[in-house]
Amino acid sequence: MKITWLGQAGLLFEADGKKIMVDPYLSNSCGKLNPASNRRVPVDEAYLNMKPDIIILTHDHLDHTDPETLEHYLCGDECVLVLASYNAWQKARTIGSGNNYVSFNRHTQWTEGNLKFTAVKADHSDLCAIGVIIDDGEKKYYVTGDTLYNTDIFEDLPDDIEAVFLPVNGVGNNLNMVDALRFAKECGAKKAVPLHVGLFDDKKPVGFEIVPEFFKEIKL
């Protein structure tokens, strides 16, 4: 499994011949609404020109379900599988045509080739928000989406998570760094990757062994 950080909460997984994007935010939509949310890191155009096979949208906030970004991927001739929590699904399915828009909510599973995707609970201000388990048949990767520390979440999780990818910025109903470290330990993940910092702010992860870099492969 090759995993690349796209900035904010965006990730690119490459496995089983598929390119899977989770919550890609490759525009400055947030900055157009609020100058305080201007991008501090330019978009790498190579990823806008890439064609994902699968897009996963964990919730309907602009830095996760961004119409400007999605237009690059959903308005072409090739069919994209979109797995989206309900509010994000409502928005995404208005963009493009000929794609497979799947309402992907807690406890929903979808199998694609050798890959299995499972939606799990998240605790966020979008009440339909989810996290997702990506299982490539050998290892399981857990993307929490935006969430707070909620003990009910752990009931949804497998006991053999290879890596967890989680927010650490501590605002907007997200885990702060202390709770993110607690969360990573409690979910039993072998490795923890902090996200949701550095694009709109100057925060740097503290206490994590793995610190991702924008548009570079995450070495687990």
What domains appear along the chain, each with residue ranges and CATH number? 2-195 (3.60.15.10)
Res 46: pLDDT: 96
> Residue 204's CB: how many other CB atoms inside 10 A?
12
**Residue with token string 């963009």:** 95
Res 172: pLDDT: 95
Q: Amino acid identity of 157? A: L
Cα separation, 30 vs 128, whole angstroms: 21
Res 132: pLDDT: 98
Among residues 38, 36, 7, 37, the alpha carbon closest in space to that of 24 is found at: 7
Cα separation, 68 vs 142, whole angstroms: 26
Cα separation, 177 vs 21, whole angstroms: 24
Residues 63, 195, 124, 119, CA torsion sign = positive
Res 166: pLDDT: 98
Q: Which two tokens mark 88?
A: 């994000």
* Cβ–Cβ under 8 Å, residues 180 and 174: no
Q: With a cut of 50, which residues of the chain have pLDDT below it? A: none
pLDDT digits (tens, 9 = 90+) for 38-91: 999 999 999 999 999 999 999 999 999 999 999 999 998 899 999 999 999 999
Residue 21 backbone phi and psi in degrees, to 5: -105, 135
Residue 210 backbone phi and psi in degrees, to 5: -105, 125
Among residues 44, 64, 49, the alpha carbon closest in space to that of 19 is found at: 49
Res 120: pLDDT: 98
Cα separation, 164 vs 192, whole angstroms: 5
Cα separation, 126 vs 173, whole angstroms: 10
Res 128: pLDDT: 98
Res 99: pLDDT: 98
Res 66: pLDDT: 98
Q: 3-state DSSP call for residue 26? A: coil
Q: What pTM was computed for the model?
A: 0.97
